[in-house]
Amino acid sequence: MESFLELIRKRRTVRQFRAEEIPENLLLELADLGRLAPSAANLQPLEFIVVSEPEARNRIFPLLRWAAYIHPAGNPKPGQEPRAYIIILVNRAIREKGYEYDVGAAAENIILGALSLGIGSCWLISVDRERVKLNLGIPEGYQVDSVIALGYPAESPVVEEFQGSVKYWKDENGTLHVPKRKASEVIHLNRFGNRI
C-alpha cells in the first residue's frame, strides 16, 4: 500500500474516466471526509451533494467547463465522463465570507481520499452555479462553491518540470503533462530568499 506522502506526490487531475460505477458507500464516505475537514472557528458552513444517478449526472455534465488551456482536448470524451460528482455547498446562514479555506480543506480531503481508493478526480470551479442549483433543487441561502468530478481513471497525467509556462498540454499519445515549479523556486528556509 502506498504511503500518504506518495499519494500526495502522485495526485494529478483526471478528466477521462472508465465506464465503471463507483459504489455509493464509497461516495458517501468521500463526502464524509469533506465533512471532517478543518473549519475556521469550527463553524462548519459546508454541505455536500453526492450525485451518482446517471440521469442527474447527465444534467450536471454540460454545466461544467473543463481544462481551458487545452479545450476541447481536455474535455471528457464520450463514454469517459465522470461517474459521480460531489457538489460543495456553502450554507450562507452560517458563513457569508471566508469559507474558501474550509472549501479547500474539504476538497483536498475528498480528492486524496478518492485517490487512496483508486478513484480519479477533477476539482471544478468553472461551473454554471445557477443551473446546478435549479437542477438539484438547492434552496436560496446556499451557494454552489465547486464540483468534484469522480471516476476510475482512464488516463495517467504526469508532472513536468516548469519551463516558463504553467499551461498543461497533451502529447501525441494523449498523455497530459502538468508543469510544476521546482521546490527550490518556491520553498524558503527560515527566511525569504534562503532557497532550499
Backbone angles phi, psi at 162, to 5 degrees: -60, 130
Residue 185 has pLDDT above 80, yes or no: yes
State the CB neighbour count (10 A cutoff) for residue 45.
22
Output DSSP code: residue 156: -
Q: Which residues pair with 188 in a beta bridge?
A: 195
User: What rounded mean pLDDT belongs to the chain?
Assistant: 95
Domains and CATH numbers, the chain: 4-154 (3.40.109.10), 157-196 (2.20.180.10)
Residue 1 has pLDDT above 70, yes or no: no
pTM of the model: 0.94
Closest CA to 119 of 148, 159, 88: 148
* pLDDT tens figures, 91-149: 999 999 999 999 999 999 999 999 999 999 999 999 999 999 999 999 999 999 999 99
